[in-house]
Structure 1
């Protein structure tokens, strides 16, 4: 593709050809009209008209040649040469027309001026001065010929004398030398004045065009920059008009919400985000910038959305709508909840150390004293049975404290590369011997070679606790499906173990407290099973999440992938 400068030069050369053909057509029509009037008046002098016809024909043929040449000429230098050829040809045409229509007194001397103006437009000052000089030389030759300084040939004499007629404003009388000299001076001065003025105006026009082009490029650059900025924003961006109709919906907004811009554009925004209706009804809020937190359902899931709503103003400062920037805060809220749990775990860890010291030591004393009394005293059967109960409950309490300590301060032992499938298979083997699993179908493909890095004892307890919880939720009847898959996130690659049961699901009020220690819905539960799962997985750098509904519950345990060195 040619540079813009060459494209503009080609456009101007085409414009020159159009102007030339248009002037030739007007001249042809005028000549035909004058010839028709001369014939009506029975004038015998029509030689000038015939000569003009020939000149117009030559101009049209040359124009066709120029148009053809323009298609094959390439490069700035060749285009400039073609422009000079055309303009010089036009000057010669003007000289011939002036010569046969009265010489220096001809009314057609303006053709020289027109050619100079066109040269200024196409070739700027250099072209205008060159064409003004050529026009002056040709007009001087015509004037000197009229003065007799330069002898004219028989052909030129016949052509000039043929101009005596309707197109000859001078008539047949010889012009005085003074008149010819005055016409020469006036026209030559006019040519150069026109050249300088026209070239100055053409140069100003060119500079204006360049400034306009630069402004257009700057505007386009700003538009591209605006598009790139909007596209790179990692937040949803929506603009609405005063009627709350969506006028812009960026790609990030599509990703967050699941809506496509083509379906939401020019629709009422409150139709898709119902919680915004009350916000827009409050004029005090939307008068300035406001930040709101709403809950929305995106892709069938409840999400927490933070909105920053600002007025959209025009160049006069009048409000024409609103700009809404929003982010899905669901993950942030989940992280805050996890941090709160982690803080609780840290506090419980400190409490656990105190419990171990304050309770375990007295328990050891109690247990030892009971055993000593039972071995040294001659007790009746009832007394002996009571001592056994005390001893047994002391052991149970000590075991409970051990479980609590393991939850509160898990001690992850030696880290090993652990295949995940065998951990699950071992737990399922234990489940197979449990009478509670008689009516439960287990679906699991143990062929996965996924592995993680951690303590096998604690991870086996995680698997068993989750399986045990699923069995209890199905109440002895249903299907337990276990799947292992790989999941890539910004913070690394994880093996996801999904435990899906077909139980009734978990109520919302229970779901919020599911991993809290000592929270349980079971009559005999301690409330430490899932809390222990959460703590152990967190210690291994993983996460635990729950997806529940009327079709059952899925526990998602994500453990870091172990990559061999």
Structure 2
């Protein structure tokens, strides 16, 4: 390396050092534009000298006010300053009576409520103590059993949490807290040294006290605080603060109020140190470049060898990825569910074989619009209607029925939004599960359980119909002999139609119960529903010697499927009758009343109750304690109540009977027509 090159390098380093500071003063963000001159109300403490205070002439002044005046002039806006106590200022900001608070210390308490500007003044809290006890105080532990005057503000006790048995004298502001100390009501004052120094000099007693600055190392920042809706004002303040610090205006303002400080000397030393370090680092870099060039050939050979090894490893890794992709593809192609992926424009990007079979498209038929495929069109229309109400990441799942080739098919589908690493929507995943066989099996099991209950009812109905048939037969046998008797004809005309009407009503209700219907919710008159149930269940109640009592709130209505609700109540009543076969007292009670926006139905029996070990299984499919039946009665009852936006609860004790509580809505909360 020749001497001329070295001189050129040193000259280049010096030029870089000279130009470097310009980047901190000239570089700035684009100045925010202010359309019209706006007036902001700024709250500040009136006893926080020299930052904000009322001087002898009654003028509200201070470093914070001068700082904001520079911003107002630069940004062509107006600040109106309102002197307040700190707690008044915080409440005023919350209520929107002021736009900002100046000179507020950062506190996590208000971190979620307000926005804090970049700090425009940083310092560490100091302790003021009388000279009489100066030799007694060396560490924080020496404040045990002493009283410390502090300003009542958020986080005021944070610095003194580790001082045991210390007492505190709270004041609304720093001036009052210093007054407590000077009156002898406190042994020390904790706060910022500038405020303490100002009021001590103002009182003429600065020689009686000592300010200790080395007890706390935690910096305290003064910031301007605004509501979260006022980010524009915060941007103006942060922008102007950065410009003032870069241009030197801030330092001039600081010198006006606080004079020259050790910080400036420290900054100069820092720049000198930085200059020396830069020169040394530059020389080191030059030496390293020289050594690097010397060893470049050897390093290239090593890297070439390493690159060859890496290439072999990369090829092996690529083969592993291909095998993994093939494995995943086989899994996706052979799962029972259909899988479809869409991009953000709802174009089909991939499908598996099962999805193609269900959608009726060719495998690999990508880049076609999903809305051109009938089944996907229906799914996406349903999703579009509700996705604005769904929270991010929530899976949209629904079961639909559609007709294909003359057959009714049931499909459970899910729509899952897909996002990239930057949280941007990239497309959708649609899964399709054919539940036709499951629904058919469920329908068969439901019919089987219903027929079992129907058979139990028929036995009682047959007994109930026998009585009116017997009376009708008696009248028919007597008809040839007593037809001429007017009293006999009157009795015939009164009893026979009544018996026929009773039999017809029993048969109609029984057929209505057995007739399959699709779920259809509507407003139900509870009294009419209960009357039809009593007609069906009365023969069985008489046969089993069960006493029935019921209490129904007048004009009570429920919003539910009447057939499903009737079948649920009939299942629970038949179960109650079975549970009371071995009981000495056989009493079945039904209570129906409105509780708030829901209706409550309670069915209580005096039967054997349910064992605690069996209670958690009673709603499980095929679980039964009876010798007959398939164990689906309570399972279906639970399902039907849930389908009608209701709940079912069991209260039981073995040997003391059981109560089933059903709650259902009284109105259509979704606003759908019945």
Which is helix-richer, 1 or 2?
1
TM-score normalised by the chain length of structure 2: 0.26
Structure whose alpha-carbon radius of gyration is higher: 1
